[in-house]
Amino acid sequence: MVLNAGFPSIGRARAVAALVLVALAALLAVAPGGARASVPPPAQDPFYRYTGTTPLADIAPGTVLKTRTVPYHVLGLPLPLKAVQLLYRSTGQIGQPTADVTSIVRGVGGSASRRLLSYQSFYDSLSPNDQPSHAIAGGLTLGGAIPAVETPMIAPFLFAGYSVAIPDTEGQTANFAAGPEYGKHTLDGVRAAFASPATGLASDAKVGLFGYSGGAIATEWASELAPSYAPDVDRRLVGAAMGGVLVHPAHNLHYVEGSQVWAGVLPMAVVGIARGFQIDLSQYLNDQGRRIYEKLKDASIINVLGQYPGLTWKQMAKPEYATPESIPIYVETVNKLIMGTGGTPTTPLFVGQAANGDFEGTSSDKPGIGAGDGVMITGDVRSLARQYCAKGVKVEYQQYDVLSHFTAMVMWLPEATNWMMQRFDGRAAPQNCATIKPGNPLDPIAAPAAP
C-alpha cells in the first residue's frame, strides 16, 4: 500500500503526520510482553568484528561481510518486525577501510520491495554502544534511546510498504561530526542492502535519503558524494530530504559557544573530529578543557544538552590558542567538513531549516552568523541551497522562522515525508530556488600565519 499520490500537498502532509502516531501505536499495541532482550554491547558482540582472511583493503566498499536477522526492538521490547543486519565494508574519514553495520527493516507486505528509504539517525554520540544497530537488536543505553524515539519517523514508510535501511552512520568508533565519513557509511550501507538476498529488495528498487540534524549530516554528505563515490547508488536515488543542517562546522562552533543549551556540543565536536581524523586536539586544551574532553569521550548528545551553559572555547583552551583558528591542524581538518566541497548532488533535495535559536538559548545576533535554530546556522543552510541551485539541482527550501531546532521537526517531518513519497511516486520535483534569500559566505577558514 502506498499513500495516495493524489492527495493535495497539505492534506497528504496531515495524513502522514496522523499516520506517524497511528503506526507507532499499532506497533506497540502488538508488541509481545515479557523480559527485555539481553544483548552484549558492540565491543563484545562478535557480529561487529570482521574475521575474514582477506584484508579489508582488498574488499570492495559495500560488500556484505556478515548477516543476521533480529526482531526490531524499541527500548528493548521486540516488535512484530524483523531487521536484517549487515556487517559491510566501508571507508573511514581518512580513507581507511572500515567495517560498519546497517539494519534493513522490510515494510508491511510480502513482496520484494521496490522502494528503499535510507533513514539516517540523529543518535549523535561518542559512544559505540549508542549505535542504532545495537538498539534495534535489543540493546539498552541512554543515548541508544534516540533510535526508539525515531521509530515514528519511519513508521509511515514501513506501513506504506517501503523497506527502511538504518545505517550506523558514525561507524564503530563513533566519529561524531565527521560528515564525509557519515556519507560514505550511508552509501555503502545502501550497496550492502542490495547485495544481500536476505533484504528482499528488488533489483530495480529506488532509493531515498532521509535525515534530520545529525541524520542530515549523513544525508547531505551522501547526496553530494554519491556521484563520485557511489555512482551505482546515485543512479537509484529519487531524492534526499534533510532538516536542521550542519553546513560549516567552524561557524557552528562559534555559534553555539556561550549558549545555554547547545554549548556542550562544542567539546563533543572537538572529540569527534579528532577521532575521525586520528589527530590529537587535546594538547591545545587547558586543564578544564582536558577534563571536559576526557569526560565526554563516550558521551551522547543527551549527556551534554543544557549541562554546559555558557561554555566557550577560551574557557577550554590554552591562552596561546585563544581561537581554534589559530591551530593549523584544526583549520586543515575542519575545512574538509564544509558541505558542498565533496561534489554536487544529482538528485532533488528538500531542505528545512529553522531560524529561532533564541528559543533554545542561543543568541541570534552574533556578527557574521545571524539567525540559527539554536545549533545550526540558517544563513549557512541558505547559502548551500543557493550554491546547489546555481549548479542545476532542484532544491525545495523551507525556512521555519518562528521555530527552533527541536520544534521545527514537527513541521519538517510531515513535509519531508510527503515530499519523499512524491519522489518515489515519480512526480516531478518542485523547486523554489528563486525565492531563497542570500546567506553567509561558506569560504574555507584561512590557515594561520606561520610564527
Structure confidence by residue, pLDDT tens digits, 67-81: 999 999 999 999 999
Residue 17 pLDDT > 50, yes or no? no
Mean pLDDT of 277-286: 97
Structural domain includes residue 51: yes
Q: Please report the pLDDT score of residue 112 as a whole number.
A: 73
Residue 202 pLDDT > 50, yes or no? yes
Structural domain includes residue 271: no
Q: Where are the beta strands (DSSP E) in 218-365?
A: 237-243, 349-354
Better pLDDT: 197 or 110: 197
Q: What is the CATH number of the domain that holds 212?
A: 3.40.50.1820
Structural domain includes residue 153: yes
Hey, what amino acid is at 167? P
Cα separation, 451 vs 444, in Å, equals: 21
Residue 66 pLDDT > 80, yes or no? yes
Cα separation, 303 vs 298, in Å, equals: 10
Structural domain includes residue 308: no
Mean pLDDT of 74-95: 96
Q: Please report the pLDDT score of residue 4 as a whole number.
A: 30
Confidence category of residue 160, pLDDT binned at 50, 70, 90: very high
Question: pLDDT (tens digit, 9 = 90+) per residue, 428-444?
Answer: 999 999 999 999 999 99
Cα separation, 2 vs 157, in Å, equals: 9
Mean pLDDT of 330-346: 98
Mean pLDDT of 319-332: 96
Structural domain includes residue 320: no
Confidence category of residue 1, pLDDT binned at 50, 70, 90: very low
The domain containing residue 219 runs over which residues? 9-247+337-435
Cα separation, 202 vs 206, in Å, equals: 9
Structural domain includes residue 301: no
Residue 7 pLDDT > 60, yes or no? no
Quote the mean pLDDT of the chain: 91
Q: How many domains is the chain partitioned into structurally? A: 1
Cα separation, 246 vs 339, in Å, equals: 8
Read off the C-alpha cell for 430: 518542485
Structural domain includes residue 407: yes
Cα separation, 249 vs 178, in Å, equals: 10
- pTM for the whole thing? 0.92
User: Closest by alpha carbon to 399, among 244, 259, 251, 261?
Assistant: 244
Cα separation, 438 vs 32, in Å, equals: 52
Structural domain includes residue 300: no
